[in-house]
Each structure stands twice: as C-alpha cells, then as structure tokens.
C-alpha cells in the first residue's frame, strides 16, 4: 500500500512539474509538444507507420480470424460435446 502511494505521489509530482514549471519559454510538456510537431519527428512517425503497417495488418487478420472461430456456432466451452461415431 505504501509503495502504491509512493508511486502515485511521484506521478502526480511529475504531472505537476511537467505542466506548470517553465523550462525557458515552455514547460516540459510544451517542449515535448514542440519537438513532436517538427517535420523531422513527423517524418519519423510516418516512416514507422509505413514499416509497421504489414505487421499491424497481419495481427488484425489473426484477431478477426480468432474472433470468428470463437463466435461461430458450436464453438466454445458451452457447446455440446461432439458425438462419438459408432462402429
């Protein structure tokens, strides 16, 4: 409980510091926002999205296929057991 309270106080202090204390012309969050909006950062973001797109598409297809299998009729833990073929 004390550890949780400690980390909560650390996060609150970081948010307060980042949003209120000026570091030159801007706060910490203002500097991060200014850096993120530069053309170089936007180019990096676009490059990462272009490279990751095939992986994201593959994961989305896998999730959709898994969801389809889990929700189709007769699947899941609540369905009746399969009949045993007689000889």
Q: DSSP per residue over 11-31, as a string?
A: HHHHHHHHHHSEETTEEHHHH
What are the distances in angstroms from CA 30 to CA 34, 66, 67, 84?
6, 42, 42, 67
Mean pLDDT on 27-50:
95
Q: Each residue of 36-75: b (16+ CB within 10 Å) or e?
A: eeeeeeeeeeeeeeeeeeeeeeeeeeeeeeeeeeeeeeee
Note the Cα 69 to chain centre separation in Å.
24
Domain map (residue ranges) of the chain: 2-66
Give the tens place of pLDDT for each residue, 54-79. 999 999 999 999 999 888 876 555 55
Q: What pLDDT, on a 0 to 100 scale, did the predictor assign at position 79?
A: 55
Which residues, 6+ apart, have CB-to-CB distance to 29 below 8 Å? Answer: 18, 19
- Please, which pLDDT band fits residue 85 given cuts at 50, 70 and 90? confident
């Amino acid at each position: 409980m004390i550890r949780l309270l400690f980390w909560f106080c650390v996060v609150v202090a970081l948010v307060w510091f980042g949003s209120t204390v000026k570091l030159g012309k801007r706060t910490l969050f203002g500097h991060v926002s200014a850096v993120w909006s530069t053309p170089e950062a936007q180019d990096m973001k676009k490059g990462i999205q272009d490279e990751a797109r095939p992986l994201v598409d593959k994961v989305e297809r896998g999730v959709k296929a898994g969801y389809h299998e889990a929700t189709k009729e007769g699947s899941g833990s609540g369905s009746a057991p399969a009949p045993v073929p007689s000889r």
